[in-house]
Structure 1
Amino acid sequence: MEKGSVSVYFVQSALDSLRVRGIDAEALLLDAGIAPATVQSPHGRVTPESFSKLWLAVAAALDDELFGQDSRRMKVGSFAMLAYMLTDCATLGDALKRMARFFNLLLDDFHCALEVQGSEALLTIRPAGQHDAPRVFGFETLLMLQHGLACWLVGRRIPVLAAAFCYAEAPRSAEYHRMYSENLRFGEGATALHFSRALLELPVIRSQQDARAFVRKAPGNIVIKYKNTDGLAAQIRRRLRASSAADWAGFDDVAAQLKMTPATLRRRLDDEGQTFQLIKDQLRRDMAVDLLSHSTRSVADIAVQLGFAEPSAFHRAFKKWTGANPGQYRLQGTGQG
């Protein structure tokens, strides 16, 4: 599986749940190996492992796996119980109906449902409480959990035909393309994932023993493993990842490999909110985060591997991406910062 990274936006949203309750978040950040400077950067990234540690720590501090987004707490252990319960279902459709009932029993401010419209099935979440504005992080967290569980139950990614959101588009929506689909709609009546109705007949292949292993690795495995891999940007990313950065093909060559004209490729990428340069920058960023976190290679060697002519250029780029320089990021990740 390709390594990835998680936007600092999700880290900030989780920490906001602590701050509004007067709980100091710095110790949890340090324990998760996340540099405070990274959290302050609008473009910061963290590893899935660090995000998982922080997610679990915040949930434990609040005793709430939905981070205070609902009037009632989703107590720690709820997600694990749900995973165990769903392994008894025969098909994906049965599991999604049971999952919706489970969340509707626990929560007051969100209403979950499985709906069918013609050839499509919809996993929907609607606001149910009396709030002036949608609790965006609550919708994001619920959608992430439900889609990740559904994919895990059948042992494959469920391709999302379209994703709708009951709130206005925000800058972080760029993350949604990789998480769900290139077809996004905002300001809709419900937050929903559209997928093929035929997939409801897929058999559930997981056991309770599988569930124990799955829960231990959540939520990092949900955020990264089942991201959208069907979009054009994802295809280009895989092609680039297959070779060293120094040997990456140019834009015109990639267009030829995909049997498109450069103009068509540029237009198709624009439809996904991407550019060729942005794809390369994001891939270098994720490779850098992974190498600094999981290898002992020197910063200079990593700079060369990622195609930077000088270590200083890598330092500048990495600080722009994450808010910390490479050395600081590595030390923080090992608990020495």
Structure 2
Amino acid sequence: MTEPMGFTRWAAAHHVRAALVGARRRGVDVAPLLERAGIEEHALADEHGRVPAAQFVALTKALWSALDDELLGLCSAPLRLGTFAMMTHAVVHCSPDLRTAVRRADRFYRLFPAGPRFSLTERDSVARVEFDLSDYDDPDRFAAESLLIVWHRSASWLIRRRIGLDEVELGYPAPPHALEYGLLYGTTCRFGAAATAVSFDRALLDQPVVQDEAALRAFLRRAPWDILARMDYGQEVSAQVRRLLNQALGAGAEAPLPGPEQVAARLAVSPQTLRRRLSAERTSFQQVRDQLRRDVAVSALARGDTSIEELSARLGFSEPSAFHRAFRRWTGATPRSYQGSYQEANRDATASGRQASRSA
């Protein structure tokens, strides 16, 4: 199973809370939905809290069923279940390239009162897709974030290649969780822009749609997991680098994290070739390594099964202070406060359970 997208292996608590807004607005009792997904409500109270991504996916499915709305009650009218599936059928079978697929998807959704609205423009070497969010009642910006993620992951899936975004423009002020936007989209995010849009290399629009009926059935069967996934198509050099680094981390703390020269040797290319190929994918060895370090750190600290000092050494930092600086840059919190928030939540849950047992 692939690692979930910007959520990595975990979904931020504020995303989970935001996903429930539309259901609560419509009078749906969300407690049974959280229970069905295996999410304890106390875990959502911590601003730095996270829940396993698999539980977030399960909650999304439960909300879809309860609301019969793929937009989770955040738009002026519901988008009935099955609409996205019909759009993908229309796109996969009738689009020779990504350009045609994007335009066809836009025309399809305009048939529905609450369909997502987006428009494609091309100028020089840049392709830009702008999104119309005027019909969303979305105080937490969850619908806006989700729409961009769904578009980006679906488009990448169609051409079986991750689309590197040059810039993400957000037509609203920076939210409290703005630091996480870099994790969600993997590029520069500019708030307070005139519109909400993503920009990328125009040449990608010429890439052929390579998915077929069998792949589409599997894609829809796994939904929304693949939509919320950092998809690894296997052929990208960045994906190969990440796998090799992840294997090294799995070998234990005694095995140092390999550098670009060692990874290049494993891939049977020169360091210069590796650097050039990663640059063509709009990333670098440092970025791939830092993204993996971040994902592993967040997961380990949430589990609480290793000390910060051990984790720092395992991730190849020269000293814990360097790890502290990096983690704060990634998440906005220090490793100790992040880990402490989970320990506190677990203590509260244990105390609540004991109190309930005594009351019974």
TM-score normalized with structure 1 length: 0.72
Equivalent runs, 1:1-337 vs 2, <5 Å: 1-2=2-3, 4-88=9-93, 89-108=95-114, 111-129=117-135, 136-226=141-231, 239=245, 242-243=248-249, 246-247=253-254, 283-287=296-300, 302-303=305-306, 307=310, 318=339, 320-321=341-342, 324-325=345-346
Residues 130, 80 of structure 1: alpha-carbon distance in 2 compared, 3 angstrom cutoff: closer
Letter in 1 for 2:299: D
Output the CA distance in 2 between the equivalents of 1:240 and 1:327: 34
Unmatched 5+ stretches in structure 1:
260-271, 293-298, 330-337
Residues 130, 183 of structure 1: alpha-carbon distance in 2 compared, 3 angstrom cutoff: closer
Aligned-CA RMSD value = 4.1
Conserved? CA contact 2:75–2:136, under 8 Å: no
Output the CA distance in 1 between the equivalents of 2:37 and 2:24: 17
Conserved? CA contact 2:77–2:113, under 8 Å: yes
Greater shift, 105-114 or 187-196, is seen at 105-114
Letter in 2 for 1:38: A
Conserved? CA contact 2:13–2:43, under 8 Å: yes
Output the CA distance in 2 between the equivalents of 1:68 and 1:86: 25
1:123 match: secondary structure: strand
Letter in 2 for 1:60: S
Letter in 1 for 2:191: F
Number of paired residues? Answer: 294
Alpha-carbon deviations, 1:287-317, whole Å to 9, x = none?
Answer: 466xx6xxxxxx8xx43799369xxxx9986
Conserved? CA contact 1:38–1:322, under 8 Å: no
Unmatched 5+ stretches in structure 2:
264-270, 272-286, 313-334, 351-360
The answer for the alignment partner of 1:264 in structure 2 is: none
1:185 match: secondary structure: strand
Q: What fraction of aligned residue pairs are identical, expressed as a percent?
A: 29
Structure ranking higher on relative contact order (CA contacts 8 Å, 6+ apart): 1
TM-score normalized with structure 2 length: 0.68
Residues 102, 211 of structure 1: alpha-carbon distance in 2 compared, 3 angstrom cutoff: same
Deviation at 1:206, TM superposition (A): 0.9
Alpha-carbon deviations, 1:224-277, whole Å to 9, x = none?
Answer: 3249xx9x9xx8998477325735869xx9899999xxxxxxxxxxxx9xxx8x
Output the CA distance in 1 between the equivalents of 2:91 and 2:48: 36
Conserved? CA contact 1:101–1:112, under 8 Å: no
Residues 161, 246 of structure 1: alpha-carbon distance in 2 compared, 3 angstrom cutoff: same
Output the CA distance in 2 between the equivalents of 1:154 and 1:210: 12
Residues 186, 238 of structure 1: alpha-carbon distance in 2 compared, 3 angstrom cutoff: farther
Alpha-carbon deviations, 1:132-188, whole Å to 9, x = none?
Answer: x87722211211111111011111211101111111111322222122133111111
Conserved? CA contact 2:249–2:255, under 8 Å: yes
2:110 match: secondary structure: helix
